[in-house]
Amino acid sequence: MQVTHLSEAKCSTVTSSVRTLVKHKAKLLRSIPNVVLYLSQALINLFSFQQQSHFTNLFLLANSSFFMKSLFNYKLRFIQFYCLIPISPLMVLDWTYWSSFNIFKQDYIANTLASLIFTPFCLSRVNSSPVPDLTYPNGHTPIYHCLSLDVFKANLTRLRRHGLFYLSQLLSLQGTHLLA
């Protein structure tokens, strides 16, 4: 089963003929804002409904049976390792570095987490949470903060092979020399 995240423009295109028909049947002006249709004619904003469904699925996945939680945690670790994210993917505030990756575009959880950023919701980890803390210890200054997007993408495979998440993994303790 494949789930697709539709853009707001795509959702608008898909529902435009229905909105036009409703406006015509209700004898409303074509220029009337769509929000009026959502309020007075009980139409559903497809993009908002899609987002709500994705967020609900994400929260259900994180809070369901042991098996599903395990799969969810595995998927979070995979996203973290593949994208070289030193913190939990649940805590990422800006997905622009990774949004152009093919694996990101095809990943339901990564896309849902990225779209959650544009909502008033905020994810946080509670100490009693069954979701493990995925932050990689003993490091500071994530490598992706130090490199341009093009350089990061060009060297991602090499960095991943060596497990380099932080700049401090490349420097001596004093921070004056590169390690071999």
Residue 179: the pLDDT is 65
Residue 10: the pLDDT is 93
Residue 13: the pLDDT is 93
- Nearest to residue 9, comparing CAs of 50, 37, 39? 50
pLDDT tens track for 52-71: 898 888 888 888 888 888 88
pLDDT tens track for 112-121: 998 888 887 7
- Nearest to residue 59, comparing CAs of 135, 136, 119, 6? 119
Q: Where are the domains of the chain?
A: 8-135, 136-180
Q: What is Dmax (Cα atoms) for the chain?
A: 74
- Nearest to residue 62, comparing CAs of 74, 52, 51, 79? 74
Residue 177: the pLDDT is 58
Residue 171: the pLDDT is 75
Residue 172: the pLDDT is 67
Residue 129: the pLDDT is 58
Residue 29: the pLDDT is 86
Residue 1: the pLDDT is 46
Residue 180: the pLDDT is 59
Q: How far apart are CA 178 and CA 67, in angstroms?
A: 43
Q: Which residues of the chain have pLDDT under 70?
A: 1-2, 122-133, 172-180
